[in-house]
Structure 1
Amino acid sequence: MIKSYYSMGLILVTALALSGCFGGGPNAPVSLRVLNYFDTTLPGSAEEEARVWDAFEEANPHITIVREDLYGESYHAKIAACIEARKFPDIIFAWPSGGSTGLHAGKFLKDLSPLAAGDKLGTAFSPAALDGGAQAAGYLGILPRSLTSTHAFYVNTAVLADAGLTAAKTYDELKAQVPILRSKGYETIILGNQDGWVMQECLFSLIAGRFCGEAWEQAILSGKAKFTDSDFTAALEFIQSLYIDRVIARTTLLIDYGDVVTQFAENKAAYLIDGDWRAQAFIPLERQDILVTLFPEINGVKFNDSTSVVLGAGWGISANIRDKSPEERAAWRLIQWLSGRETQTWLLSSGKIGIPSRIDIDENALDLEPIQKEVAKFAREYKTGTAVIDRVFPEAVYSAINDGLQEIAMGTKNPGDLSFTVQNALDVWKSKQ
């Protein structure tokens, strides 16, 4: 009788193990529910489905994907309903903040950092992409598939060659080029400075990050630091020096954002400051002589290898998924596939992303325009991604900064006064929360 019970118990344990109740093997059958942000009406959507999703299931026959494709408001309505019900798909397409802040704030996404560290993703991804502090949850809730630098330093090598110069590596070199370029009839740097957001997004956010350090915006938002502190004021003083040194002319306040590319393409200046997205405007021009890099090194600042970065969207795993379960293993395998080298290479070559979050992609091997290759390699140009002001501070604050930066350009406001104005805007906003 005892032997019979023993045999039955052994059979039951074996059955449970095979069914996955004890964790299952690495290839245990798993079904994953996926919420994808995807417009099936766009050209190329069928190719993306075949190249990305169908290919994954073919390579992983033990994983069944039940995918729901939503786009626009229908997607956001679905997320809102999931948050209200506290029930989520296993895999969720999301942004690092913005419209996905509710997912992050509620801690409804797993922290992917242990999984990323376990698979040594730091060797394949940009450090900025794996910076959990840059996401609204404060940890790595999603694995981004792309990056956007709101700053890019476009270099017109034809203009520089005509003046007998090469691209400046430091601010002192840049300042020394001003009289030489002016003698040849060229401006040094132009930007669409008539629009208030451009200086703030495309240059000052980078400068603030270099002077104030990593996560400077969180220190201010938490009250541990203030806009009136010496480092932020020094960043504003640097902007003032750009005009005093004539590196940027005050006449740029008359340049509309829509016109600046034309002026740069017509060789009016040696350098253009804009976002990395502006590279698309140069593709029809077939320019071979434009480089894309970072603003030159500034002596004495904290982070010369930084730029202002917005993480792209990506995929996260529902916090409801158990650690080390077959579902987690399968979900992580899918996320790595969706952000894998092959997938990102295809997304890059098809124009669906501009800067991949991976740094192990050889853009020179792809059929891209020269300017696209310049932008694609941009993630290897910097080690630190710092905050974009109008993405993290309320409108009352970034509007005060936008207006103040133009006032500094006109010489009607000094950096110290602007620091107090901005801090006051933040204090008033906080008092109303």
Structure 2
Amino acid sequence: MTGIKRVSVLALALLMACTSIFAQGTKETTKATNGQTEITVLNYIDMSEPNSANEIKLLWDKFAADNPDIKVIREDLFNEPFHQKTEAYVASGNLPDVLYMWPSGRSTSLHTTHSVKDLMPFLEKDGLVDSYNPACLVPQFAGFLGELPNGITMTHMLYVNKKVLADNGFAIPTSYEEMKAMVKPLKAKGIDLIAMDNMDAWVMQSCLFSMVVGRFGGVDWYKDLAAGKISFTDPWFVKSLSLIDDMYKSGMINPNSLTSPYGSSRGNFALGKAAFYIDGDWSTASFQTDITTGKALLSPEVQGSDIELMVIPTIPGEVIHNSNSGVVGTGWGMSANIPAGSAEEAASWRLIKFLEGEYAQTYRLSVGAAFPSNLNVNVAKVVKDNNLEPLVAKRAAYYNTYTTVTPVIDGVLAGDVYNVINTGLQEIGLGSKTPATVAKDVQKAWETWKANQ
């Protein structure tokens, strides 16, 4: 999740050289053809994930069938290639008509350059404002509704394999110290305490550290920081960094996780090679059954009997308990280049309404991809009527249990600051910097960023 940055000549050259799936490329050539209005889309999808092929069939193919007057030219990317391409499009000023977005963070440049339209007037015109969770319609990073979100995202989730714990004489821990005490006995049997993938720098920051910062800094840590009441060199932040340092040094998190690509350790957790797994709430979909192949990392039976979803339990010195880190979720935005009142605008808005409508959000709920922002989706009824897998129901219970939510770091800080945090967390894991040094680096980055505003 990066802010506005100077795009290199190389990046622009690659943009010009790459063969884009987007037809001829310019808005002038994206006109009605054969009675169809043509729109381009930048989609975010991991085609290796369960149900990804099914998503193409049940969402994108369905929209095409129901809207024969619209031709969608879609580009599918994932993780860093997606974000790099987005930044290249922003730099070129030639965005796709509809694109997958974050409310801040990795989509900061889309918001601050006003590369996307404010979607609130579209919702108001169609009488759809009351159809969405009000928390999902608040102004985003640049003060307007740049993307219509899928829902609210909790970026920290601790998966627990109760069977692995029970087989080794442990119960679900109620404190950080209890978890730490499990490291040596489990390691003696070749079992990691926590599986986590930290090669991509955002993972530690988003999926663990943001929650930890909230525990030590409180619900209003960002407001206090912005008001100048606290700084990154104060104990709340140094303690947060020190906890991550302790987790690496004690073996709670294996330093080898720093070479593990995102998502690669899910299989080890599913096989019982780790007692816990840390990720965001979205990752539940990765463990559920692919309805196309019938295969799952965790069978419904195992989901029901062996797996629990929780947050890291009580941490020594925390000022709030059982809190989590959360942010308005990802969703869909519309290019500001589209002429107002045009056929392209109408087609793009029809697609966004479909992607965030009752049908699409019910589908995402059924496969565990997202919990709905659309209030017309009756979660309890969908779970019951469709006999959904246990992880779906447990995820709903998880939201109802952990209701104290603190900011996600890359959801409130600019890239010039949170990238220093991301790098610092990796340096702590490698043992090349101390928590105190990283705290100073972050404070310097924060002061530099503020001075340039």
> What residue number does 2:101 align with?
95
Report the secondary structure of 1:314's partner residue: strand
C-alpha contact 2:64 2:70 (8 A) present in aligned 1: no
Identity of paired residues, percent? 26
User: Match for 2:435 among 401, 415, 433?
Assistant: 415
User: Match for 1:387 among 408, 412, 421?
Assistant: 408
The within-5 A match list for 1:146-161 is 149-161=154-166
Report the secondary structure of 2:160's partner residue: strand
Shift of 1:203: 1.1
Shift of 1:155: 0.4
C-alpha contact 1:354 1:372 (8 A) present in aligned 2: no
**Residue 332 of structure 2 corresponds to residue 314 of structure 1:** yes
> What residue number does 2:309 align with?
292
> What residue number does 2:146 align with?
141
User: What TM-score results when the alignment is normalised by the length of structure 2?
Assistant: 0.60
C-alpha contact 1:200 1:405 (8 A) present in aligned 2: no
* Partner Cα separation in structure 1 for residue 87 and residue 182 of structure 2: 57
User: Match for 1:109 among 105, 113, 117?
Assistant: 117
Report the secondary structure of 2:297's partner residue: helix
Shift of 1:228: 1.5
C-alpha contact 2:269 2:277 (8 A) present in aligned 1: yes
* Partner Cα separation in structure 2 for residue 385 and residue 139 of structure 1: 21
The within-5 A match list for 1:169-180 is 170-171=174-175, 174-176=176-178, 178-179=180-181
C-alpha contact 1:110 1:317 (8 A) present in aligned 2: no
User: Match for 2:195 among 170, 186, 191?
Assistant: 191
> What residue number does 1:10 align with?
none
* Partner Cα separation in structure 2 for residue 208 and residue 321 of structure 1: 43
**How much is the aligned-residue C-alpha RMSD, in angstroms?**
5.2
C-alpha contact 2:237 2:439 (8 A) present in aligned 1: yes
Q: Deviations over 1:3-62 (max 9, x none)?
A: xxxxxxxxxxxxxxxxxxxxxxxxxxxxx99764469x995546435644665x7xxxxx
* Partner Cα separation in structure 1 for residue 127 and residue 314 of structure 2: 31
Q: Deviations over 1:236-278 (max 9, x none)?
A: 233345468x5x536x113452664454344344322234455
Shift of 1:417: 3.1
Report the secondary structure of 2:211's partner residue: helix
* Aligned partner letter, 1:200: Q
Shift of 1:345: 1.3
Q: 1:183 to 1:46 in 2, by over 3 A?
A: closer
* Partner Cα separation in structure 2 for residue 419 and residue 77 of structure 1: 28
Q: 1:338 to 1:200 in 2, by over 3 A?
A: closer
Q: 1:278 to 1:33 in 2, by over 3 A?
A: closer
* Partner Cα separation in structure 1 for residue 57 and residue 395 of structure 2: 27
* Partner Cα separation in structure 1 for residue 439 and residue 426 of structure 2: 12
Shift of 1:342: 2.6
Q: 1:101 to 1:190 in 2, by over 3 A?
A: closer
Shift of 1:152: 1.9
* Partner Cα separation in structure 1 for residue 91 and residue 445 of structure 2: 35
* Partner Cα separation in structure 2 for residue 101 and residue 414 of structure 1: 30
Report the secondary structure of 1:71's partner residue: strand
C-alpha contact 2:215 2:318 (8 A) present in aligned 1: no
* Partner Cα separation in structure 1 for residue 330 and residue 271 of structure 2: 32
Q: What count of residue pairs does the alignment treat as equivalent?
A: 372
* Partner Cα separation in structure 1 for residue 200 and residue 92 of structure 2: 38
Report the secondary structure of 1:138's partner residue: coil
User: Match for 2:73 among 43, 47, 69?
Assistant: 69
Q: Deviations over 1:389-408 (max 9, x none)?
A: 4984337513542234315x
C-alpha contact 2:333 2:352 (8 A) present in aligned 1: yes
Q: Structure 1 stretches of 5 or more lacking a match?
A: 1-31, 58-63, 323-327
Shift of 1:143: 1.5
Higher-Rg member (1/2):
1
C-alpha contact 1:294 1:381 (8 A) present in aligned 2: no
> What residue number does 1:27 align with?
none
